[in-house]
Chain A
Amino acid sequence: MNCRRSRKFRTYLLYLSVSLLVILQATPAASRLYIDIDSPMQKKLKIAIPRFRTEGGTAADQLIGRELAEILSNALDFSGLFQILNPAVFLQDPEQMGVELQEINFSEWRFLNVDLLVRGSYKIQGDLMVLTVRLYDVIQQKRLLRKTYGDRIANARQTILDFADEIMLELTGQRGIFQTKIAFVGDTSGQKEIFLADFDGSNIVQLTHNRNISLSPAWSADGKKISYVGYQKNSPDLYIVDLITRAVQRLRMGSLNIAPAWHPKEAKLAATLSRETSRTRTDLYLLDVQGQIVRQLTNSWSIDVSPSWSPDGRKLAYVSNRAGKPQIYVLDLDTGRSTRLTFEGDYNTSPAWSPRGDRIAYAGLHNGQFDIYTIRPDGRELLQLTGGAGNNEDPCWSADGRLILFQSDRQGSNNLWLMLANGADQRQLRLNLRGSQTEPSWSPRLTWTPP
């Protein structure tokens, strides 16, 4: 039932977006560089989110309503799928607007060309809040979602982000990325440390305090662990931090222990080791979390580094200089055979396999500048996503495969930037941190509440 309704609605949205696109084309598309033929129409849906209405609350309670609407607006805006209607053009005071289906004046919203409307109402009791949020289809004048939450006011952001994910599920058939986190390297303290933040750059936490060099954070498939490269013992070793128990483990199998990448299904990781037994070798290995070598994955005289798993865990994209220059290769773990993926350019690196499995993003050097590209795993349909704006490196994907987070020095120092998977909507991630930020890694959807 739910599914059928949703499919019908999506068909409708497609029709709607075509007409919307005609209107949008009158104004120049802001920063779109290249059109992804896989998803040709990254249409934006116009959504109105008036501030939530308090039921019998005080003036102070009303302020919370504005904040809740803002959290939801920012989250949906972040996804790149919505155009948020500016509250200044509302035709009525949100306090006077109805919240339930029969109370809503749909003709007013249609007049503003709105596709979707969110109405929230809440009651505050001490430090608890009962919140009801609804999503309406303005054109069809029907309710798509209605959810009631009871939680502490302090958890309001989490509650709203859960509803934002419900909206994405309803409209796209897939939950959003509003309950994900990012990890990255920051040098605020003067030394490189690992930081965590919410998907939108809020709630920054410094994970390591090594006062040394910490690099290459990587999320485990269950989102509960982070592996990174640290120099605490005066050598580049792998560390695994359990985000829940805070236990830290060190893995050292050679003189060089770098480039961790967690298996998408099992508690194993691929990494690059330089082993004492073969000191001129820099190969990829599969390790378990105790630091035992499960299997040697590559065996060549070249540098093999920066592995990235296919979502099914059967293939591995990585960088090798076996043909003289760094290029991207794909290793088939069933056959043990590697095939070269990239042939354009002299220096291609940091592959990132999309969670949908359909594309591999990477950074390539062209005319002295690094830019982000994507390519199909079979080597076809090469797309350039950035260009003419500094160096752009280290791409990583959001869990839903719609967004790419990367580092760019287009404004001087390296910072984290975002774009849609087709290169549109490039913007800086808002991070309230001094210094530079590099090597982003995006978590899967988190099912646990961080401490």
Chain B
Amino acid sequence: MRNRRAWILGAVLLAMLLVLGVSCAKKQVTTAEPGMEMTAEEAAAQQAAEDEAAAREAERLRREREARYRAEAAEMSAEALRQRFEEENVHFDFDKYVLTPQAMMVLDEKAVYLRDNRRVRVLIEGHADERGTNEYNLALGDRRANSAKNYLIKSGVDASRFTTISYGEEQPLCNQRNESCWSKNRRAQFRIR
């Protein structure tokens, strides 16, 4: 991630150098701390360029995963695909409901499946590990289910196809008291209705 950003920054700077001309290139390079000699407008433009590049890169990776998924899916039966959709959970960090890059990758696959199977309606369950109160964990599960749902809506799946439910800590997949077990339990789970 950091590497990519540095790369993009480099590319943007290089482009600016070309525009400014070789004569003042030396000065620019020696003071290349971002924003040091840039006006607010230039900084904003650079930020926008960075964001756009990052978004393009994310989109490129998403398409790549999508292509890979489609290639795999071509070999699989409808039943196997359905099973894969239901069995792959989206995981979360402790006391968090933001999607990790890993979680987004899982959701990208699900978005493809849902675009390919337009009649499928989905129940998204939100779950938490056992630590903390049932009540807080019910709210956390609700947020997790909604995080997953909102991501899928943004990926082009119609909102009306989703229902969410939170089970809090009430339906663990794993019952030991350790992090490996807790991390399995902190999840959004998908059921085709």
Contacts and interface: CB of A to CB of B under 8 A. Distances in A.
Q: Are A and B genuine complex partners?
A: yes
Interface of A: 192, 213, 215-216, 229, 234-236, 255-256, 258-259, 272, 274, 279-280, 282, 303, 305-306, 319, 321, 325-326, 347, 349-350, 363, 365, 393-394, 438-439
B95 A350 contact: no
Contacts of B140: 303
B138 interface: yes
B139 A256 contact: yes
B135 A350 contact: yes
> 5 closest pairs, A vs B, by CB?
A303-B139, A256-B142, A259-B135, A282-B139, A306-B135
Among B133, B142, B167, which residue has the most Cβ atoms of chain A within 10 A?
Answer: B133
B143 interface: yes
Given A258-B138, A274-B139, 6 more contacts: A215-B138, A216-B135, A234-B165, A255-B166, A279-B146, A319-B135
Contacts of B150: 279-280
Contacts of B138: 215, 229, 236, 256, 258-259, 305
B170 interface: yes
Contacts of A306: 133, 135-136
B46 interface: no
A305 B133 CA distance: 10
A391 B133 CA distance: 12
Contacts of B167: 213
A306 B131 CA distance: 15
Given A279-B146, A282-B143, A349 B132 contact: yes
A393 B165 CA distance: 25
Contacts of A303: 136, 139-140, 143
Interface of B: 95, 131-136, 138-140, 142-143, 146, 149-150, 164-168, 170
A280 B166 contact: no
A326 B136 contact: yes
A305 B140 CA distance: 10
A360 to B, nearest CB: 15
A349 B95 contact: no
Contacts of B165: 234-236, 255
A347 B150 CA distance: 27
Contacts of A365: 131-132
Given A234-B165, A280-B150, A325-B95, A350 B142 contact: no
A305 B135 contact: yes
A255 B164 contact: yes
A211 to B, nearest CB: 14
Contacts of A192: 170
A251 B163 CA distance: 19
A274 B138 CA distance: 11
B170 to A, nearest CB: 5
Contacts of B136: 303, 305-306, 319, 326, 349
A235 B134 CA distance: 15
14 contacts: A213-B170, A215-B135, A216-B134, A234-B165, A255-B165, A258-B138, A279-B149, A279-B150, A280-B143, A305-B135, A305-B136, A319-B133, A319-B136, A347-B132
B108 to A, nearest CB: 21
B168 to A, nearest CB: 8
Nearest to A394: B133
A280 B126 CA distance: 13
B164 to A, nearest CB: 6
B154 to A, nearest CB: 13
Given A213-B170, A234-B165, A280-B146, A258 B139 contact: yes
Contacts of A363: 133
Nearest to A279: B146
B164 A326 contact: no
Contacts of A258: 135, 138-139
Contacts of A347: 95, 132
A325 B95 CA distance: 8
A438 B168 CA distance: 15
Contacts of B149: 279
A305 B146 contact: no
Given A192-B170, A280-B146, A303-B143, A272 B164 contact: no
A215 B142 contact: no
A229 B133 CA distance: 14
A415 to B, nearest CB: 16
Contacts of B166: 236, 255-256
A272 B134 CA distance: 13
A229 B139 CA distance: 13
A326 B132 contact: yes
A325 B136 CA distance: 11
Contact of B142 (A282, A349, A439): A282
Contacts of B132: 326, 347, 349, 365
A255 B142 contact: yes
B135 A274 contact: no
A313 B178 CA distance: 41
Contact of B134 (A215, A282, A325, A326): A215
Nearest to A319: B136
Contacts of A350: 133, 135
Contacts of B131: 365
Among B135, B136, B166, B170, which residue has the most Cβ atoms of chain A within 10 A?
Answer: B135
